[in-house]
Amino acid sequence: MRGRKVPSFYLFMSLKDKVQNLLEGALRENPSLFLIESKIHPDNSIEIIIDGDDGVKVEDCIAVSRAIEHNLDREEEDFSLQVMSSGVSEGLKHIRQYKKNVGRKLKIKTTEETIEGELISVTEDAIVLTWKTREPKPVGKGKVTVTKEANIAYENIVEAKVMITF
């Protein structure tokens, strides 16, 4: 680490542990950000995907990148670092992501079915979706529009994606 006295235990930490500690510190600096995924590949290329309660700005990625890169010694270990925001195609993985998408249309694949609907609420255990569908009238010919609602536990969600509408 440049310009600082390095604690002796730090010298013996693996690259993964060093990155993890530096990443945790960077996220503590901006509590609205949270980690989606971090990977360190065998060639020491580091990929970090973050998200934020209010989205992620380029400046947020730069700050996280600098917090990590400026505190690792390239002479000790060569690495490449990429910090990026979670994209729409990534899907939702954390409760905080669901919370920031209340009111948006989601496509949820569960262990039993696929549902597209508006996310109307989020709890610690489940989400609630609502959608409209056409069903046969109970009496007579034709169809009627009905509103459906599903309470889906996180443990039953295989994949969740935000649907982009134009």
pLDDT value at position 73?
Answer: 86
Write down the domain spans for the chain: 8-86, 95-162
- pLDDT tens for 125-146 read 999 999 999 999 888 889 999 9
Let me know if 109 is exposed, middle or buried by CB neighbors in 10 A (0-12, 13-18, 19+): middle
Q: What is the pTM of this model?
A: 0.77
| Whether pLDDT at 159 is above 80 | yes
pLDDT tens, residue by residue, 109-122: 999 999 999 999 99
Asked if pLDDT for residue 103 goes beyond 90, the answer is yes
Whether the per-residue pLDDT at 16 is higher than 70: the answer is yes
Q: How far apart are CA 157 and CA 151, in angstroms?
A: 11
- Residue 69 corresponds to which tokens in the numbers above? 């890169």
Q: What is the pLDDT, as a whole number, of residue 164?
A: 86
Question: Of the CATH numbers 3.30.379, 3.30.70, 3.40.50, 3.30.1820, which one belongs to the domain with range 8-86?
Answer: 3.30.70
Query: How sure is the predictor about 15, in pLDDT bands with cuts at 50, 70 and 90?
Result: confident
Q: Which CATH number fits domain 95-162: 2.30.30.100, 3.30.750.210, 2.30.30.90, 3.80.30.20?
A: 2.30.30.100
97, containing H or E segment: helix 95-100
Instruction: Please name the helix (run of DSSP H) or strand (run of DSSP E) that holds residue 40, with its range, or none.
Output: strand 33-40
